[in-house]
A and B are shown apart, each in its own frame.
Chain A
Amino acid sequence: MKPFSTHSGLVLPLDRVNVDTDQMVPKQFLKALTRQGFGRILFYDWRYKLPSEAPNPDFILNWPEYQGASVLLTRANFGCGSSREHAPWAIGDYGFRVILAPSYADIFYNNCFKNGILPAILKDSEVDELFRRAEADRTYRLHVDLPHQTIRDDQGLEYAFEIAPSRKEVLLKGLDDIGTTLQHVTTIDAYEKSHAGTATMYAPVDVKYYG
């Protein structure tokens, strides 16, 4: 995974609460076999008119001034609903590296870290202020510093954001979780041995049921 340390980029303000992962990647795109190419379909139903797939001019992702945006500013409970990791795949492939919101749904939040995306948590009042600034100036940029856990703009505004130290480390080092876990393989072996007799480890018997 690509490590994350600092990032500067154009801010796209998506002023909606409770944006669910069905909106990020609608169901028909869950039939893929790979993780690539989801950027084109990010926010598909909001972004395109059908059947032509012409860009919907009302949707902010299609506005010319926001092309190249890499910091997504949004509202509470971002990423609720389905566990589909296709959602962060699409966000990352589109070009976003940072999300700023007051809160995230648990599974989505977790999935971001597997894909080198920083979902920073800010206070409601801070998010409000960033929306004010980003909506007043459509060239508004932010500078994100993960080691110091700060974001700042060119006017001198600076906010600190929260992140668990272990999460921070994963992003900074671009860690492969599986590789890290496999370092504990003897501990896993021992766990399996010592728990083999409990209710959690019954071997399957057969699958005959309802005739």
Chain B
Amino acid sequence: MTAKTLYEKIWDSHVVYAEPGKPSLIYIDRHLIHEGTSPQAFAGLRAEGRKVRRPDLTFAVMDHSVPTTDRTLPILDMDAKAQFDALATNCAETGVRLFDMNSKNQGIVHIIGPELGITQPGQTVVCGDSHTSTHGAFGTLAFGIGTSEVEHVLATQCLVQGKSKTLHLVVNGKRRKGVTAKDIILAIIGKIGIGGGTGHVAEYAGEAIRDLSMDGRMTVCNMSIEGGARAGMVAPDETTFAYLEGRPFVPRGKEFQEAVARWKQLRSDEDARFDMIVELQAETIAPQVTWGTNPGMVTGVTDRVPDPGSFHNPDDQKATERALHYMGLKAGTPITDIPVDRVFIGSCTNSRLDDLRAAAHFVAGKHVAKNIKQALVVPGSRGIKAAAEKEGLDKIFSQAGFEWRDAGCSMCIGMNADVLPPQERSASTSNRNFEGRQGRDSRTHLVSPVMAAAAAIAGHFVDVREFDVAPVE
């Protein structure tokens, strides 16, 4: 029997129909939808008189445009409200389970899937959102799709897909104190470039990945798409099984034990071949800060803003020049000299309990710097919010001068009122620093939760390794 990668195993078990030389029809186990990319899909179904094939395997949540302030107040954004209403109607009519903005289980779609145990190893999971790659942390084949494909999955519970190439991303060794999952994935993207993984499904492996909690693995897989890989995955292990046990949608008792036995088979065979292999050494990874307008424009916190002339490729030179102009940065500026206006701790990348704990540990007993106009903490879900409050994290943040908000996508994408104003600079734990991402003409620096917390306290980026940071788990 030929040796297979994890991706190939999941792929093979999901092929419904295949013809040589053509894309295959693959089965989708879990379909997650949100208000932003689903209304046109439901409208398309309706226009053709088609039904949702498996409402029981479809889960809906409101996350992209929800307010993170008091939800008992009326929604003033009429366009957002129309989308919330459309999602509620579409779910009610088709029997799809909806976590609306007042549900206890509401949160960012990629947070609640794993948190509720909807996401499980070996599944195929899709969502009309590129950060669906997050779910790959469970040994799941999970990727983002467009609205036409959302409609296709609603109607058929299948997708027409060509097989991807495979990319083995091996991070050996142990990361240093103050270096997080976010720094690992930013360092990977810095190395392979934002198109480096295009056409590939990534599998993360190596000691530094194994050492990560599920929260950390989700952070890594989340940003696979920022390296061009549509999906990223980690083979499930004891850490995965321990995380899943007891979650609402996970089977229990004997059924759980049987599931674990099956999930243990989900790993790349020893001699499986990958189309591309990239290796990194965790000890060499410093806390990362992006300086430009895509996630590959990143460097260590002790480095300087690069000179466009230092790039060989003329396209890169032009892009760097443009990025520095947009970011209002001068080449050669030490990263630690860059002042910050606002801090955002949140998003499907970094809003889980581990992230909030690490940030809270840093800010406990301190206060945000005078130049910080706003410091936001937006838990990824109401479940995480409740758990954090049980530990008193909300008080730590509030006393340090942070605003403690309700769950949603918030300032990562700025579709609600949480927008970064023009020319203002953020330290953000989110995933994209594209032009205008957090608000028109705003300037985003992507960092880990610890770095964001440190930037809030110092008013600029600092080398968090010099401070008391939570120990590496």
Give the B-binding residues of A (Cβ under 8 A): 15-18, 20, 22-23, 26-28, 30-35, 45, 50, 75-77, 80-85, 88, 103-107, 110-111, 114-115, 164-166, 177-178, 180-182, 184-185, 187-188, 191-192, 195, 198-211
Q: Is B262 close to A, CB under 8 A?
A: yes
Residues of B contacting A182 with CB < 8 Å?
155-156
Could you say which of B124, B160, B250 contacts A181, with CB atoms under 8 Å apart? B160
Could you say which of A33, A195, A199 contacts B262, with CB atoms under 8 Å apart? A199
Q: Is B280 close to A, CB under 8 A?
A: no
Is A34 a contact of B40 with CB atoms below 8 Å?
A: yes
Bound CA–CA A82/B80 (angstroms): 19
Is A85 a contact of B294 with CB atoms below 8 Å?
A: no
Is B43 a contact of A177 with CB atoms below 8 Å?
A: no
Bound CA–CA A114/B118 (angstroms): 29
Is A30 a contact of B36 with CB atoms below 8 Å?
A: yes
What's the least CB distance linking B292 to chain A, in Å?
A: 10
Residues of B contacting A18 with CB < 8 Å?
194-195, 294, 319
CB-defined A-B contacts under 8 Å, sample of 20: A20-B294, A20-B432, A33-B86, A34-B39, A75-B315, A83-B144, A84-B37, A85-B147, A105-B228, A107-B225, A114-B146, A166-B21, A180-B160, A188-B25, A195-B27, A199-B123, A200-B29, A205-B251, A207-B99, A209-B383
Bound CA–CA A49/B241 (angstroms): 52
Give the A-binding residues of B (Cβ under 8 A): 13-14, 16-17, 21-23, 25, 27, 29, 36-37, 39-40, 43, 48, 50, 53, 56, 64-65, 77, 79-80, 82-83, 86, 97, 99, 104-105, 115-116, 118, 120-124, 128-130, 143-149, 151-152, 155-158, 160, 162, 194-195, 198-199, 225-226, 228, 230, 247-252, 255, 259, 262-263, 294, 315-316, 318-319, 322, 382-383, 386-387, 413-415, 432, 434-437, 440-441
Known: A81-B225, A83-B130, A184-B17. 5 other contacts (CB 8 A): A17-B319, A80-B194, A178-B156, A200-B124, A207-B248
Residues of B contacting A166 with CB < 8 Å?
21-23, 162
Is B436 a contact of A23 with CB atoms below 8 Å?
A: yes
Point out which of B64, B315, B441 has the most chain A C-beta atoms below 10 A from its C-beta.
B315
Bound CA–CA A164/B24 (angstroms): 13
With A181-B156, A188-B158, A209-B105 already in contact, the answer to whether A45 and B40 are too (CB < 8 A) is no
Residues of A contacting B23 with CB < 8 Å?
164, 166
Is A187 a contact of B17 with CB atoms below 8 Å?
A: yes
Bound CA–CA A209/B82 (angstroms): 29
Top-6 shortest CB links A-B: A85-B146, A114-B148, A31-B79, A77-B195, A83-B144, A111-B146
Could you say which of A20, A203, A205 contacts B56, with CB atoms under 8 Å apart? A203
Is B248 a contact of A206 with CB atoms below 8 Å?
A: yes
What's the least CB distance linking A175 to chain B, in Å?
A: 10
What's the least CB distance linking B109 to chain A, in Å?
A: 12
Residues of B contacting A106 with CB < 8 Å?
198-199, 228, 230
Could you say which of A81, A88, A115, A202 contacts B249, with CB atoms under 8 Å apart? A202
Residues of A contacting B128 with CB < 8 Å?
83, 85
Bound CA–CA A200/B160 (angstroms): 19
Bound CA–CA A103/B198 (angstroms): 9
Is B413 a contact of A27 with CB atoms below 8 Å?
A: yes
What's the least CB distance linking A85 to chain B, in Å?
A: 4
Bound CA–CA A18/B318 (angstroms): 12
Residues of B contacting A199 with CB < 8 Å?
120-123, 259, 262-263
Bound CA–CA A147/B194 (angstroms): 32
With A199-B262, A206-B248, A210-B383 already in contact, the answer to whether A22 and B437 are too (CB < 8 A) is yes
Is B440 a contact of A50 with CB atoms below 8 Å?
A: yes
Bound CA–CA A115/B130 (angstroms): 19
Is A103 a contact of B195 with CB atoms below 8 Å?
A: yes
Residues of B contacting A107 with CB < 8 Å?
130, 143-146, 225, 230
Is B158 a contact of A80 with CB atoms below 8 Å?
A: no
Is A33 a contact of B40 with CB atoms below 8 Å?
A: yes
Bound CA–CA A116/B79 (angstroms): 28
What's the least CB distance linking B146 to chain A, in Å?
A: 4
Bound CA–CA A23/B262 (angstroms): 44
With A20-B294, A201-B29, A209-B247 already in contact, the answer to whether A31 and B437 are too (CB < 8 A) is no
